[in-house]
Amino acid sequence: MSEIKEFERLEDILDKNLTGSNYETVRQLLYGRAVEQIDLKTIPFNRNLQVEAYRIPCPEEQLRKPRNVRIGLFQNQIPVPATSKIQYMKNALYKLAEEAIETSQKSGVNIFCFQEAWNMPFAFCTREKYPWSEYAESAQYGPTTKFLQELAKNYNMVIISPILERDETHSDTIWNTAVIIDNHGDYLGKHRKNHIPRVGDFNESTYYFEGNTGHPVFETEFGKIAVNICYGRHHPLNWLAFGLNGAEIVFNPSATTGGLSEPLWGIEARNAAIANGYFTCAINRVGTETFEHEFTSGNGKPAHKDFGHFYGSSYVAAPDGSRTPGLSRTKNGLLVTEVDLNMCRQVKDHWGFQMTQRLDLYADLLARAVKSDFQPQIIKKSNC
């Protein structure tokens, strides 16, 4: 794990350089309505874990009771070198996970989500099949799911666990998968990554292809949740489909680097929350992971041994466009956010995006666009 000099986070720069009304104006444009900090000072935390907690305000209704849910997003760097033995790496990550989940329970978290492929280095840049394929395991019966089932049951917490899946039933195929464990410790289901990147170092199709699970929404005691894994956040129809299936919270566990996607990071999940009338949770890993052998990106630049810096900055966005500050770009962190799911309907009533979205209009276009004889609707000046 090489050390890279990185700035801590955007919010610190704003705080340092803007004051008074200038700060408030910029903050409102970037983050929407102000969120409230939750005081967790009485809870003992690991000093190496940045813990921040916020409440996104929601007007109370006359007929429906508040549906308050606390979400926990955990971002981390791998605690040992990427080249470590597999079981040693997993044990170190399990220890880190257990501490984060215990802290989440003390903070009142109901739904907890890890970053993409949390129980391994993000080695897919290397295009080496071994040892990295050995991290793949059964979504339902693998050791990571079994480990988390006990914690979910003990702490009455829904846990979303993105892993590298080995489908032993279907020819040992590998998938990029999120496992959902309910608060009773039961396996609720899984979702496989719908969109696979082929950009720069992120050529993940060496290991797995596009998922085949559609856009499932998982009904839990704490709300209807879905998982839009990493690169899927760049696809508006992917977000839309989870909303059409009734999602109230959509998690976006990711592993992405500053040189590639950081200008898009604060926009995409927030925009998805606004457009689809649900809460979104963007989680990104932290740090720089260095591998034994050099690899190239197909861009003419020199071979290298790391992806670049994973910039963290995890945040939660609400359907009204408000969002929390991001976590650190360089540190392990837990973001606790309390939301009221009643806001989803309130915002839909206010803006009417769903009422006016004209699905029939776009369904017709898409049905024609997928055909080989499709002709774009372009109107040209006729020759006289």
Q: How confident is the model at residue 4 (pLDDT cuts 50, 70, 90)?
A: very low
Q: What is the mean pLDDT of residues 177-188?
A: 98
* Catalytic-residue membership of 230: yes
Amino acid at 95: K
Q: What CA–CA distance (Å, rounded) separates 239 from 244?
A: 9
- Pick the catalytic residue from 58, 113, 125, 230: 230
Query: What does the block give as tokens for 381?
Result: 């000046």
Q: What is the mean pLDDT of residues 143-165?
A: 98
Amino acid at 168: E
Q: How confident is the model at residue 384 (pLDDT cuts 50, 70, 90)?
A: low
- Pick the catalytic residue from 52, 116, 165, 289: 116
pLDDT top residue among 243 and 43? 243
Q: How confident is the model at residue 1 (pLDDT cuts 50, 70, 90)?
A: very low
* Catalytic-residue membership of 3: no
pLDDT top residue among 299 and 21? 21
Residue 257 has pLDDT above 80, yes or no: yes
Q: What CA–CA distance (Å, rounded) separates 189 from 171?
A: 20
Whether the full predicted model's pTM is greater than 0.85, yes or no, is: yes
pLDDT top residue among 156 and 4? 156
Please report the DSSP string for 127-144 in residue order: ---TTGGGG-B-TTTSHH
3-state secondary structure of 278: coil
Residue 376: is the preceding peptide bond cis (ω within 30°)?
no
Residue 29 has pLDDT above 80, yes or no: yes
Q: What is the mean pLDDT of residues 91-113?
A: 97
pLDDT top residue among 269 and 20? 269
> b vs e for 68-80, b when ≥16 Cβ sit within 10 Å of the residue's Cβ?
ebbbbbbbbbbbe
Q: What is the mean pLDDT of residues 76-86?
A: 97
Superfamily name with CATH number, domain 10-369 = Carbon-nitrogen hydrolase (3.60.110.10)
User: What's residue 202's pLDDT?
Assistant: 86
User: What's residue 138's pLDDT?
Assistant: 98
Q: How confident is the model at residue 2 (pLDDT cuts 50, 70, 90)?
A: very low
User: What's residue 43's pLDDT?
Assistant: 77
Q: What is the mean pLDDT of residues 98-108?
A: 97
Q: How confident is the model at residue 383 (pLDDT cuts 50, 70, 90)?
A: confident
Amino acid at 166: R
Q: What CA–CA distance (Å, rounded) separates 255 from 120?
A: 12
User: What's residue 136's pLDDT?
Assistant: 98
- Pick the catalytic residue from 165, 193, 281, 289: 193
Query: What does the block give as tokens for 62?
Result: 């006359």
Three-class HEC string of 217-256: CEEECCEEEEECCHHHHHCHHHHHHHHHCCCCEEEEEECC
The mean predicted confidence, pLDDT, of the chain is 95
pLDDT digits (tens, 9 = 90+) for 192-237: 999 999 888 888 999 999 999 999 999 999 999 999 999 999 999 9
